[in-house]
Structure 1
Amino acid sequence: MIKTHRRVVAASPDRVWEVLARIGSPDDGLFPHEWGSVRAPEGIRGGAPFHHRGMLCRIEAAEPGRRLWIAFPPEHGGEHGFTLTRASGGGTVVTHTLRVRQRGADRLSWLLAVRSMHDAVIEATLDNLERAVGDGTLAHPVRHRHHYAHLLRAVAVRARRDRTHPAAVNPDAAPDSALGRLLPAHDFHSAYRRRVAARPAEVWAALESLTPQELPITGVLFRLRSAGRTRPSAGPLSGDGPIPVLVLEEGHEVVLGKVTQPWHLRPVTAPIPAGDPEAFTAFADPGWVKAAMGIRLDPDGDATVLSAETRVRATDPAARRRFAPYWQVIRVGGAGFIRVELLRAISRRAEHLAASR
């Protein structure tokens, strides 16, 4: 896959290189800080390390006034970088090119989140470059907006914030759960929690009355994943969604789940009755994963601890190996955004109900 961004800036290639060569340094004014940071601890030179979003990359080429090229780690495959050429009418054409070899779940990750965020980061980087080499303004200041990418980033930031404030959650509040009884052992796991300023009855009422319009990110991700075939028409308790309800304990917990092979471009569902917890538990054919999410309410004084926990159990080692890269994609991408958005929407509606009582 090749992705290209191009910008003409009113400066010579040598001037552009002066700014570009500071990327990853303490004086870096190029990489947009709202998207994190990059580091070039040994400076910009061929063969030097380049740290990018948790990956240890390598500077493949650093040719002043011409190009800066960076190789991803071998396990990721691919490369990206900037090329500088003189524009016919003066100035410099700055081209950023991304080349990656996408495999399996990488394609899904690109469609769901990475493409939008990549576009936003590169365009913001080119904005900073244009400002730095010129008079501080942009020739076309309303060139791009990337609302979806910034929405994804905001949800991810909130997810990290929620996970780094454990004092707001009582870790002993849920020693047992319907989810735990359904899938006592698991190979993959994630959990999100939120303290809601409302009583459990109000939180449950909010969960029951939740609408797809309150979950815009979830709707977009489901449509992308299913190529437009899946459009949630009701809330998670309706039974009409893509994941059937397995257990419903009124006012306390709901568990949704199914047996599937999600690593296919079009996920395959096991031939068992949808929404049957006994069939779900008993299923043991090799080559599948059993995935379930529990949404649970636990009282905490006048408030409620609302949690969304996901457990996945592979039916054999081969399925576990096939699912592992897919899990890495969805855990930090689509599935994480869906859980955070779900808890936020329930909380918002429940606190509104509590305020109006």
Structure 2
Amino acid sequence: MNVLNIHKRTIQQPKDIVTALLKTLSTENDKIWPKEKWPPMKFKAGIQESAKGGHGPIRYSVEKYTPNEIIQFRFLKPSGFNGIHKFEIRELSEEQTEITHTIDMKTVGKGTLIWLFAIRSLHNALIEDGFDKLENHFSEHKKNTQWNFWVRFLRKQLSKKRK
């Protein structure tokens, strides 16, 4: 199954300020990844090309890293996820920056079922939570995207498994 999943958010800040926050991704002082609600993104050696890491059961390697433009990851796990996901930053104006997260992959076998019934909904919620966290650094009115029923249900089931 071909998967193209794109999330975009316009941040009312100059690109260099947004880029500075993106550089904290996967660090102790991560200002993007919503680790308060989701498994943290971890890379032993930090984000650099060919580094391996991931979050929860999702594993990937850094395929491309240009700090002011793109961080691109190639999926390693789960099996059946063949492709990439990436964060891109683009200046819209001196005071507006767009951040985009894209998954572009082909799923096969069990990977297709995992994507359709679990990962897709959880991923969408995670990315929106991350974009909320980023945007909330600059806003008095804090965003908190609500999870849909399926995300709440899956998280409840997963938390029971861990006990």
TM over 0.5: yes
**1:30 corresponds to:** 32
Selected match of 1:86 from 86, 91, 94: 91
Q: Which one of the candidate residues 2, 13, 16 is aligned to 1:14?
A: 16
Residue 99 in 1 paired to residue 101 in 2? no
Mapped partners of 2:15, 2:161: distance in 1: 41
Which residue, 147, 155, 158 being the options, matches 1:156? 158
After TM superposition, the score normalised by the length of structure 1 is: 0.41
2:124 corresponds to: 119
Contact 1:130 1:137 in 2 (8 A): no
Q: Distance in 1 between matches of 2:94 and 2:149?
A: 33
For residues 127 and 88 of structure 1, the distance between their equivalents in structure 2, rounded to whole angstroms, comes to: 21
Between the aligned partners of 2:45 and 2:66, the Cα distance in structure 1 is: 16
Cα distance, 1:56 vs structure 2: 4.0
> Which one of 58, 66, 72 corresponds to residue 63 of structure 1?
66
Q: Distance in 2 between matches of 1:5 and 1:124?
A: 11
Q: Which residue pairs with 2:52 in the alignment?
A: 49
User: Using the alignment, how far apart are the partners of 2:144 and 2:52 within structure 1?
Assistant: 35
Separation of aligned partners in 1, 2:144 and 2:21: 23
Instruction: Flag the 1:13–1:117 CA change in 2: closer, same or farther, 3 A.
Output: same
Do the aligned partners of 2:14 and 2:94 also contact (CA within 8 Å) in 1? Answer: no
Cα deviation for residue 73 of structure 1 reads 1.5
The one-letter code sitting in structure 1 at the alignment partner of 2:112 is R
- Contact 2:85/2:104, CA 8 A, preserved across alignment: yes
Counterpart of 2:88, as a letter, is T
Change (3 A) 1:55 1:79: same
Q: Give RMSD over aligned pairs.
A: 2.1
Q: Deviations over 1:4-50 (max 9, x none)?
A: 00100011222112111111111113222222111122122222223
- Structure 2's unaligned 5+ residue stretches are none
Q: How does 1:164-313 map to 2 (within 5 A)?
A: none
Give the Cα–Cα distance (whole angstroms) in 1 for the partners of residues 26 and 144 of structure 2: 27
Q: What whole-Å deviation, never above 9, does each CA across 1:308-344 have from its counterpart, x for those lacking one?
A: xxxxxxxxxxxxxxxxxxxxxxxxxxxxxxxxxxxxx
TM, length-normalised to structure 2: 0.85
Q: Is the 8 A contact 1:32 1:125 kept in 2?
A: yes
What amino acid sits opposite 1:116 in the alignment?
S
8 Å Cα contact 2:15/2:94 also seen in 1 = no
Structure 1 or 2: larger strand share? Answer: 2
- Cα deviations by residue, 1:141-191 (Å, 9 ceiling, x for unpaired): 365432321221012102221xxxxxxxxxxxxxxxxxxxxxxxxxxxxxx
Unaligned stretches of 5+ residues in structure 1: 162-357
Contact 2:15–2:95 (CA under 8 A) maintained in structure 1? no
Q: How far apart in 2 are the matches of 1:104 and 1:158? A: 26
* Counterpart residue number, 1:109: 114
Tell me the amino acid that sits aligned with residue 14 of structure 1: D
Task: Measure how far apart 1:52 and its partner are.
Answer: 2.5
Is contact 1:86–1:92 with CA below 8 Å preserved after alignment? yes
Report the CA distance shift for 1:105/1:55 in structure 2 as closer, same or farther (over 3 A): closer
- C-alpha spacing 1:127/1:94, structure 2 compared with 1 (3 Å): same
C-alpha distance in 2 between matches for 1:91 and 1:19: 15
CA distance in 1, matches of 2:46, 2:140: 25
Q: Count the aligned residue pairs.
A: 158
Structure 1 runs, 4 residues or longer, greater than 4 Å off: none
